[in-house]
Amino acid sequence: MEPIIETEKNEQLPGQVLPKPFEVLSNILQRTNNHKNNPHLCNLLICESNLNLTCEAYAGKQWGYTEVFDHGENDENGKYKTLTKNRTMATQAITLMVVSLESNWKLPVGLLFTDSSIETPLASTIEVYLTKLNSIGIKTISISLDLLSNLKHTLLTQLGFDIDHMELNKTTFKSYFRHPVCGNIYIYFELPPLINHICNCWKWEKCLKHKDNGIYYSFINHVKNLQIVKNILTESEYKKRKIINDWYIIQRRIIYNDNAISKTVADALTYLKDMDYPTIDGCGPTIHFIRVMDCLSNFSNNSIHSKSSVYNMDPNYESSWMPVLENIIAYIKDIRKMYHNDDAQLQFINSIRGIIISLTSLIEIYKNYFKTEKQESLIQYSLYKRLALSNMSYKMSILSIKWSALEMYKRIKALSETPQKIFDDEDIKA
């Protein structure tokens, strides 16, 4: 490892290879008249991406090696120690992006290169960035990350948040960690991967349980292939034709929307249940599960947020959406796998925990900040969409190809020089 060097505290942040983000942020705050007495509320996205293992020279530096940082203790001169590059090829890039919770902008502020096999002291770096942001008038009240990524265990453990031992037999849940300067920082996990993990487990294992009630995937296949005409017990020819016609329409909708977790499938099962159809006895818990997961998916679907005040968490409709979120938390905490080994069950339960933590954070952020102080801002913009990792727009273009560290640097550097919009103009409510 190269020798430890000391850096002036205000000169450079750990891993700050991006030259301009804090200058850009300061300009934004000056234009919006934000200052320390009226801090701008923001979320910090933490995004992990795999790298192409390539070392390249650029601007007098070798790009492709890990950079492991720990700010340590300040000395008497106000300096902190920074560990420089460990000569190991970097396998991952961690990008830090600030997303405004009040206005329509987002900006990358940090980029770190790490090796997933090395336990990087990432929490120390995050804490330094949170303090620096606070010093220029940005109050970070939440962080977003992917619970199913390699980053999760290292970072959460270092922050003092032990998700593996979070108890589910409670009515309230802790969804934050404490920062010495910023106070409570709420944790938000990307919802779609957690929803998909739970639904995939259901599909693979064919059965989940809610308390003592079985949730059976076999009902899904049954309803898709059911020829209802053979089992209609009615003396009325008119009613029989109506049921056949209704079922034909229902099955067309199912074929069009071929998704097990959808309102369409739940409606089809409900239709059969209401007519006491003989082959779907005991489908009630399955219907309930599908409707809850479909509702949860709608909350995590950015495309519908501009069209619905309920999914926007609009204060004017709080009586509609708040009970929905609270009921989802109360229901989902009792979902378990029917058949499991210990490791698989832990990962499944962590997905449950992640959803509970995320929904609790949404509610607490709304109650503690937006309901009283920033109501007008929240009415205009979706809170969920601001916390989603999809704000890291570059991530979408690297799903099929890995960038080198240098390519990652160049792309993130370009994004960090000008604030990007969170919402398209047509998505913003007038």
| Burial class of residue 255, CB neighbours in 10 A (0-12, 13-18, 19+) | exposed
Q: How confident is the model at residue 315 (pLDDT cuts 50, 70, 90)?
A: confident
Res 262: pLDDT = 80
Gap between the Cα atoms of 96 and 107, Å rounded: 9
Q: What is the CA radius of gyration of the chain?
A: 25
Directed axis angle between helix 218-225 and helix 237-256, to 10°?
120
Q: How far apart are CA 290 and CA 274, in angstroms?
A: 17
Q: Who's near 286: CB < 8 A, 6+ residues apart?
A: 215, 216, 219, 220, 269
| SS3 of residue 160 by DSSP | coil
Higher pLDDT: 78 or 1? It is: 78
- Residues 173, 178, 183, 189: is their CA dihedral positive or negative? negative
Length of the chain: 430
Q: What is the rounded CA–CA span in Å between residue 42 and residue 39? A: 9
The answer to whether residues 393 and 420 touch, using CB atoms and an 8 Å cutoff, is yes
> Distance (Å, rounded) from C-alpha 4 to C-alpha 69?
10
Amino acid residing at 406: L
Residue 249 phi, psi dihedral angles, 5° rounding: -65, -45
Query: In what side-by-side order are the strands of the sheet with 213-216?
Result: 213-216, 207-210, 335-337
Arithmetic mean of pLDDT, 66-72: 56
Round to whole Å and give the CA distance between 340 and 131.
43
Distances (CA, A) of 330 to 213, 277, 361: 15, 30, 15
The predicted model gives 25-47 an average pLDDT of: 81
Non-local CB neighbours of 163 within 8 Å, separated by 6+ positions: 147, 152, 156, 350, 353, 354, 357
Q: Categorise residue 180: left if φ over 0, alpha if ψ from -120 to 50, beta otherwise.
A: alpha
What would the mean pLDDT of 332-343 be, rounded to a whole number? 78
- Assess whether pLDDT exceeds 90 at residue 425: no
pLDDT at 43 over 60: yes
Q: How far apart are CA 286 and CA 291, in angstroms?
A: 9
- Comparing 211-215, 250-254, 300-304, which segment has the lowest mean pLDDT? 300-304
Distance of CA 58 to the CA centre of its chain: 34
Query: How far is it, in rounded angstroms, from Cα 3 to Cα 218?
Result: 61
Q: How far is residue 292's CA from residue 428's CA, in Å, rounded to a whole number? A: 28
10 pLDDT higher than 50: no
Cα–Cα–Cα angle for 146, 144, 303, rounded to 5 degrees: 85
Phi and psi at residue 414, to the nearest 5°: -65, -40
pLDDT digits (tens, 9 = 90+) for 233-279: 555 666 777 777 777 777 777 766 666 678 888 888 888 888 887 77
Per-residue confidence (pLDDT) for residue 42, from 0 to 100: 93
Burial environment of residue 374 by CB neighbours within 10 A (0 to 12, 13 to 18, 19 or more) = middle
Question: What single string gives the DSSP state of each residue in 62-109?
Answer: EESEEE--------TTSEEEE--EEEEE--EEEEEEEEESSSS-EEEE
What is the rounded (10 degree) CA torsion for 175, 179, 180, 183?
-50
Q: Which of 79, 66, 75, 73 is nearest to 2 (CA)?
A: 66
By the 8 A CB rule, do 141 and 185 touch?
yes
The per-residue pLDDT for range 170-179, each reduced to its tens digit, is 777 889 888 8
